[in-house]
Amino acid sequence: MEPIQKKKLYESVLDRLIETITSNEFPPGSQMPSERELMAKFAVGRPSIREAMLTLQQMGLIKISHGERARVVKPTIDTIVDQITSAMIMLMLTNPRGLDELKSARILLEVGLVGLAAERAGPNDIRYLEEALNDMRDANGNQVAFVAADLKFHEVIAGISGNSLVAAAVGAILGWLSKFRREMVAVKGAEKLTIQEHQVILDAIKDRDVEAAAAAMRQHLSRANELYTLLTWRGDIS
């Protein structure tokens, strides 16, 4: 049995405020009481109220605007991802295994998703994938445009699942990895090979070949880090 932890005052206020929001006492779109009203309601000082309200905003539950009362917002998957992005970047910077673990998580997710895409992809999905691949070809050495098109290709595949949570998770992982140059999907000098690999993935999706699509995705994602190491050793990447 673990000892009972004594809560800070603002944490008790925070718990009460979360309860009022989740119970729909203050539904999305409604305004929260003023600081003065909350101070009177909970019999606490202004610092505790402000810290609790700032925490609510960091959680994506309210929006605080200067000169106005805080307003309750409806949490979305995107806002939740935004709230944890800074923490994930810090984790990757401070944890020696952080980047490798994130890459492994990406492989697990995308290999499964591409198999699902091979089963479910419709004409519009194929068209979006072809557009992303064409954008990669048209980048003409523009690394920013190339990476953007590459990420779009993978996001389309995730979206075919029809699961917004999974699609958001993949998008978040891609965004976090793109913060680190060596983790980008594409690296300078490897554009041609990257395009070829994406074409193989697209062909397997078109053929409804689940196993081939999964194998092509696994090979593509596993190759990226190895190729970066090789190009760095050769001096092709500054």
9-72: which CATH topology?
Arc Repressor Mutant, subunit A (1.10.10)
pTM (2 d.p.): 0.68
| Helices and strands (H, E) in the chain, number of each type | 10, 2
Cα dihedral: 120, 126, 128, 133 (round 10):
120
Whether the Cβ atoms of residue 115 and residue 210 lie closer than 8 Å to each other:
yes
Chain CA centroid to CA 137, Å: 26
Q: Are 72 and 29 in contact (CB under 8 A)?
A: yes
Higher-scoring residue by pLDDT: 80, 188: 80
Q: pLDDT digits over 17-51, tens only?
A: 999 998 989 998 999 999 999 999 999 999 999 99
Class of CATH domain 78-234: mainly alpha
Q: What is the pLDDT of residues 133-191, one digit of tens each?
A: 999 999 988 888 988 899 999 999 999 998 888 888 888 888 887 766 444 444 556 78
Nearest Cα residue to 24 out of 68, 74, 85: 74
What are the residue boundaries of the structural domains of the chain, listed by start? 9-72, 78-234
Q: C-alpha angle with apex 209: 173 to 204, nearest 5 degrees?
A: 65
CA atoms lying within 13 Å on the CB side of residue 143: 10
